[in-house]
Structure 1
Amino acid sequence: MSDAAPGLFNPAYRARTLALAAAFVVIAFAALALNTVMPIAVQELGGLGLYAFAFGGFLTTSIVGTVLAGGIADRGGPAAPLYTGLACFAGGALLSGSSSAMWSFLLGRYLQGLGGGAVTVSLYVVMGHGYPAALRPRMFSLATACWIVPSMMGPPIAGAVTVWLSWHWVFYGIGLLDVVVSVLLIKPLIQLRRAGAADEDVLEGQSAGEAPFGEGASLRIFPAVAVAIGAGLLQYAGAKGAPHQPIAAVAGLLLLASCLRHLVPAGTLRARRGIPSLVVLRGAAAAAYFTIETYIPLMLINERHWSAGAAGMSLTGAALTWFVGSWLQGRPRLPWPRERVVLIGALIHGAGAAIALTGALRGAHAVTLAVGLAVAGFGMGILLPGVGILTLEYSPVNHQGRNSASLQLSDSLSSVLLLTLAGTLFNSAHVRAGADNMAFATVFGAALVAAASAGVIARRITPPHPKGLGVGKHGSRPLT
């Protein structure tokens, strides 16, 4: 497509683009607003000891939603998993918001995770099916831009609602916004289904012996649930003072080792060139970044005595640099191939992790931590959209859902595992607030190792056989 081709807001794409943008804004606002009120909600419900499960449990159940939505989207299109995911997310928000006990609050969070995983993958599939290749980088940039306003407005709005009403109403509001997004998506999804019906001949031309992904989708329910349980057991094993930790750790590792290979493209665990390396790259980079993002505000408050508001501004700064990186990678006529741009993003991300580790050392200025997070965010803004774009480009149309699901699965699972390791390292080196520089340094050191591995893997994302991407002998086999 030439530069004169219609843009995202051309009449042919306007309704679809606006609906997708609204969905991403709600996702961003939900993440930031709910994270803001989570400490208040958990303490009011008397469940401070289960605080980590409110976050980790969300990621764990999102694994199941991710896997199932990818298969359903490939078989019948993204509408059904998208609406089901939105319903689960809204229902979970309402359940958590109306809770007066911790068990029902956590149940609502787990239902939100199930829906959130399905929604994210389904939106990726809509982007893959609904836009030509030349417009996808711009759509990924727009999706990133949708986080900017929520990153600045979500926390203060959630805080104000909590003060004036209660934290319950923040969850209710998220549920209402989900309903609005569902209505906005009706027309674009109908149009997408009609366009897909005209292209059914594409699926008929798939290679002999390669069954449509949907036929085996039901076989993925057990491994998806098993992987989620394994991740949950590892989280439990990393909790300080939990009984039977070794047994939980061994059981979790066994479940992951036996079932994970059924949910990712062949060769993923060996970082085979092409889509398998893209899946591993997404997980390593995301885990490193979100570990840094989780612990930098805590260190700024406990060790450098910043206020909560000032520490929170480090997250806003990273969101802004993430947007800048995403905007740059979405420009037409990039000076380098997309694969090289992704490598550059991975190297910048690694540099940000190294700066964060430097900031954890005694004597380093506190601003170094915020700078490290901002640099890492800039790298992620370049890297993450590129990984999604290449995955869609390398995938046949009837495999875009399952390969997008593999990306999201890698993101969620890797983040859970590295955050669990980081928590264990932090607890082992913890002394007391104000004397934990070494504890934070071990956490950022682990994140740096993950970021460095992402830089190495980014050199392997070019497929060995460009004409057979994702199909047949040399590509990603159907997941079983």
Structure 2
Amino acid sequence: MTAPASPGVFSRPYRARTLAVSSTFVLVAFAGLALSTVMPIAVQDLDGLGLYSLAFGGFLTTGIVGTVLAGGWSDRRGPAPALCAGLAFFSGGALVSGFAESIVPFLLGRYVQGLGGGAVTVALYVVVGRAYPSALRPRMFSLITACWIVPSMVGPPIAGAVAQRLSWHWVFHGIAVLGLLSLALLAGPLGRLRPAGDEDGEKPGGLRAMPALAVALGAGLLQYAGSQSGLHRLVAVAAGLVLLVVWLRPLLPARTLRAGRGIPSLVLLRGVSAGVYFTVETYIPLMLVNERQWSPGAAGMSLTGAALTWFAASWLQGHPRLPWPRERVVLAGALIHAAGAAVTLSGALRAMPAVTVAVGLLVAGFGMGLLLPGVGVLTLEHSPVDEQGRNSASLQLSDSLSSVLLVGLCGALFNAAHVSAGQDAAAFAAVFGTALAVAAAAVPIARRIAVPHTEEKKNHATV
């Protein structure tokens, strides 16, 4: 007998869930690109340019808490409750920031929004792990990347136009409305996913709330120190480092900080690479607007181009007849990502045209399109089913924490070298140079992501 053709992600068994996951990622993509486009205008309007890094890093800091709690919650109750709660916080935070008339409530809204954003991302990863067989997961990650295409094309110009003709406040209000619409559409298609452990009555471990709060507080203190001057920032640095050293290790797989082979290196690679890309993406719009006098819409189009190259690479890695081992594709992505960071650094020089910075982001986006989906596929493939939420949370935690720390470090460097708008070439060179150094360090980590044979055999036996 001839075996039936393998169903696709839009075949009848998966169609409703695929549409639900896709629509949520479209919202996440549109929100990220639109808010990045108007952030320079918002912080300047609120007289908070010195706290620019906190507008992004604070989002990631509270996202650490949402990430860890949603990972445990998804393993215990299924991903639907964590996803719905995350969308509610995401929309509520956008409303708070949208109504803000000073920098403090604006940052508070971003922190609430980050709590929800971390939960949404982890819950969606668990949906991919629970609702799709391993053969369809690379295609789902390609589809997830495709969800950034339309938002990358329309998000920055729409956000820029709304900010110029009305106000940046209305961009945040629109994101809140879209989040509430997604919340209303998701409950049905995802509610039928069962928690791990239902078959034998066992439940996975606890939610690890205390370590998550301690790590988030430690990251927040380090970021706060990066935006301040004076001796009191040394106290914040010391306290933040103590909290991270004591509480971080229980939240990550063993040997992660030593780049142990297999899942530990996958988690570390995700964090290092995402931290570099997020930092570069954060400062490129600010550089193009303040240093090169581009309009917010034009500066935001650099993010559009990077999203397109990211999708192209992601489609390539998700091809069912990929001729190379996935580990080798991830390594190639790390090398290309580092090359993109080098081009971006060169664009900070006054002698180079401003478009060089955007070209660097295009190259880096292609590298990330090879790297990040591959890391996600390999992590789910080598995780026992009742640890998919925990390991997905570890990926996102590493992503968020690395981004917070690197954005905070680069924020401190930027503030130290900051002169005035239009005179900050050295400040941006310091930011992009630091990002390049970290991107280069990711390459040897990418060589250690292959799972040892004995561990792989154990995981398959557990599944």
Give the TM-score taking structure 2 as reference length.
0.92
In the alignment, residue 183 of structure 1 is paired with which amino acid? A
- Aligned with residue 257 of structure 2, among 269, 279, 287: 269
Change (3 A) 1:165 1:360: closer
- Structure 2 residue matching 1:326: 3-state secondary structure: helix
Moved more, 323-332 or 151-160: 151-160
2-structure distance, mates of 1:274, 1:143: 24
Moved more, 71-80 or 399-408: 71-80
Change (3 A) 1:242 1:118: farther
Residue in structure 1 matched with residue 232 of structure 2 by the alignment: 244
Moved more, 237-246 or 346-355: 237-246
Residue in structure 2 matched with residue 28 of structure 1 by the alignment: 29
2-structure distance, mates of 1:181, 1:470: 39
Q: Is the 8 A contact 1:69 1:122 kept in 2?
A: yes
**2:331 is aligned with 1:314:** no
2-structure distance, mates of 1:448, 1:51: 21
In the alignment, residue 204 of structure 2 is paired with which amino acid? F
Residue in structure 2 matched with residue 458 of structure 1 by the alignment: 446
Residue in structure 2 matched with residue 118 of structure 1 by the alignment: 119
1-structure distance, mates of 2:286, 2:162: 24
2-structure distance, mates of 1:310, 1:93: 24
1-structure distance, mates of 2:282, 2:209: 31
Moved more, 405-414 or 104-113: 104-113
Equivalent residues in 2 for 1:64-213 (5 A)?
Answer: 64-163=65-164, 165-193=166-194, 200-201=198-199, 213=204
Superposed CA deviations along residues 298-334 of structure 1, whole A, max 9, x for unmatched, are 3344554544443332221111111111111111111
Change (3 A) 1:261 1:293: same
Q: Is the 8 A contact 1:321 1:377 kept in 2?
A: yes
Q: Is the 8 A contact 1:394 1:469 kept in 2?
A: no
2-structure distance, mates of 1:405, 1:394: 15
Equivalent residues in 2 for 1:325-474 (5 A)?
Answer: 325-468=313-456
Residue in structure 2 matched with residue 289 of structure 1 by the alignment: 277
Give the TM-score taking structure 1 as reference length.
0.89
Q: Is the 8 A contact 2:87 2:117 kept in 1?
A: yes
Superposed CA deviations along residues 449-471 of structure 1, whole A, max 9, x for unmatched, are 21111111011001113554685
1-structure distance, mates of 2:412, 2:188: 48
Q: Is the 8 A contact 2:37 2:300 kept in 1?
A: no
Superposed CA deviations along residues 190-223 of structure 1, whole A, max 9, x for unmatched, are 3323xx68x844x68xxxxxx9533x32xx2111
Count of aligned positions: 460
Deviation of the 1:429 alpha carbon: 3.6
Q: Is the 8 A contact 1:395 1:469 kept in 2?
A: no
- Structure 2 residue matching 1:463: 3-state secondary structure: coil
Deviation of the 1:156 alpha carbon: 2.6
Q: Which structure 1 segments of 5+ residues have no match?
A: 205-210, 476-480
2-structure distance, mates of 1:431, 1:178: 38
Moved more, 289-298 or 131-140: 289-298
Superposed CA deviations along residues 170-202 of structure 1, whole A, max 9, x for unmatched, are 333222222221232222213323xx68x844x
Q: Is the 8 A contact 1:3 1:332 kept in 2?
A: no
Moved more, 310-319 or 323-332: 310-319
- Structure 2 residue matching 1:460: 3-state secondary structure: coil
Residue in structure 2 matched with residue 4 of structure 1 by the alignment: 5
Q: Which structure 2 segments of 5+ residues have no match?
A: none
Deviation of the 1:373 alpha carbon: 1.2
What's the Cα RMSD here? 2.6
Change (3 A) 1:377 1:242: farther
In the alignment, residue 283 of structure 1 is paired with which amino acid? G
Q: Is the 8 A contact 1:275 1:470 kept in 2?
A: no
